[in-house]
Structure formats: structure tokens, C-alpha cells
Amino acid sequence: MRTLLTLTIAVCGLTTSAAAQTVEVSAPLFPRVLDLYPFTGDAYPDGYDAQEALADDVLMTFGWLRDECAARGYDVLLAGDAPLTPEQRMENYNHVAECAYDEFTAKPYMVPQLVADVDVCALKLGDGWRLPTEADVLGWPDALFEGVADVLTETADGTSGWGTFYFSLLVYVTGADGDVRIANLHPDATTRVFDLPAGTDPTRHVEAVPFDAAGASGWAPPVVRCVRELPDTGA
């Protein structure tokens, strides 16, 4: 089995290759919560067209935020030919997250029902992107989880803590039964995939859920990360 793990600068995600399959994992999609909250609970829209329009309106990609925040004067490094160093990645996560909150009132608080009803990954990132499935996560090699954790836990050393909050290791997935579930991408997760907490109203935003991992149990917001399969490069 071949394993390749690199940072994908274009989306600040990760690429891992195992056997003949290469999987790219995106950075989170962040909603502008002041535009999302009025359409939750009893006000959650009926019909796919209205649901898709809501998702398209409120969700922002990391790439768009990175470029927009740089244009607004935040100390954000744009994608270049050379990979960012761990310190540069840490600073980018912190500055983009701070800008997302200050400029757009964006938080990593998503409405699970919107994830279930709309193909948000293809909508915001394009053809080939989709929400990861429970089967995906349970079949991924250890290198992917280790790489995600290595990239994201670097933000814990930042001065602001913004990145640690926004770039969670908990992600939404499509469960084996078709319902939206949560996966823990921490390498030492005690439970890799689990249900939304009992009593959760899926038409309302979820701020944080409990998780267990060796030495890292606590609460964190589940975020929307997307995946796509890429042609094998033979590397």
C-alpha cells in the first residue's frame, strides 16, 4: 500500500493516496450565521430550491475567505508554488478564522438538516466534491487522520486560538443508513463515527458536541468538510 500525504494549498485540505485511490479532504465550509439563523427551526425552508438557495447564500469556502481577508488587510498568505510552513499554516488558520468572525459573522455552526437536504459540497466547491460517508471514514488509512491532526493541532500554539475553534476535527458524514452523523478525525478517536446527540433538532444549528479521544476528550463544533477522489498519479 502506498501512502502519500501532502497539504493541498488551494483548499487548505489534505490529500492522501492509498493503493490506487487518492482522496482530497477540503477545509471547512463556514456559514454566515446571522443570515442562517433566521431560517432554522420552524422557519427552516420547505422544498429543495429554497434549501439550496439558503446554502448557496450563507456558506463560504476557505479559499474565498482567504483571498477576501487578505484583500481586507488581514495578514493572510495566499497560495503559492511552495507549501506553507507549519507556522505559516497556523497563522493563516488563525487570521482567516478571526476575519471570518469579525467581517462576516461566520462561525463553524451548521444546521444538520441543510447538510442532509443539499449537496453543499458540489454546490460550493464544484463537481466531484461530496460529503464524506461513514464508509469513507471507516476505510481511511491511519496516515490521513494523523495528517489532519498534525495540520490542525498546530493552531493550538497560536496566540489567538481562533484556528483551533474553527478548524475542528469533528465533521459531518452521511451515515450507512443515509442519515447525517458525525465523524471524529482525531487519530486516537475512541468512537470514529457517532450520532447527533439525543434531542438534537436537526433544523437548528449545532454549536458543539462531546467527543472522546485518547488525551483529547472534550467538546467541539462539527464542521462541513468535503472530499473528492482524484486520479492515481502512480507516485
What pLDDT digit, counting tens, does each position of 23-35 carry?
Answer: 788 889 999 999 9
Nearest to 59 by CA among 205, 219, 217, 188: 205
Q: Which residue has the higher pLDDT, 91 or 139?
A: 139
Give the residue-averaged pLDDT of 55-60: 97
Locus of grid cell 475512541: 190
pLDDT at 36 over 90: yes
Q: Would you state the pLDDT for residue 1?
A: 24
User: To the nearest whole percent, how much of the chain has pLDDT over 70?
Assistant: 80
* Full DSSP string of the chain: --EEEEEETTTTEEEEEETTEEEEEPPPBEEBHHHHGGGSGGGPPPSHHHHHHHHHHHEE-HHHHHHHHHHTT---PPP-SSPPPHHHHHHHHHHHHHHHHHHH-B-S-B-HHHHHHS-HHHHHH-TT-BPPBHHHHHHS-HHHHHHHHHHHHGGGGSSS-HHHHHS-SEEEEE-TTSSEEEEE--TTBSSSEEPPPTT--TTS-B--EEE-BTT--EEE--BB--EEEE-----
Average pLDDT, the chain: 83
In a 10 Å sphere around its CB, with 0-12 CB exposed, 13-18 middle and 19+ buried, how is residue 163 labelled?
A: buried
Quickly state the pLDDT bin for 163 (edges 50, 70, 90).
low
| CA-to-CA separations, 176 to 36, 104, 183, in angstroms, rounded | 28, 35, 12
**43-57, 129-143, 176-190, 216-230: least confidently modelled range:** 216-230
**1-15, 50-64, 168-182: least confidently modelled range:** 1-15
Q: Would you state the pLDDT for residue 24?
A: 84
| CA-to-CA separations, 128 to 26, 51, 52, 116, in angstroms, rounded | 12, 21, 18, 17
Beta bridge partners of 3: 18
Quickly state the pLDDT bin for 4 (edges 50, 70, 90).
very low
Nearest-Å Rg of the Cα atoms of the chain is: 17
Given a contact cutoff of 8 angstroms between Cβ atoms, the answer to whether 66 and 76 are in contact is yes
Q: How many CB atoms lie within 10 A of CB 215?
A: 6
Q: What is the pTM of this model?
A: 0.86
Given a contact cutoff of 8 angstroms between Cβ atoms, the answer to whether 169 and 185 are in contact is yes
Q: 3-state DSSP call for residue 138? A: helix
pLDDT at 15 over 70: no
Q: Would you state the pLDDT for residue 9?
A: 27
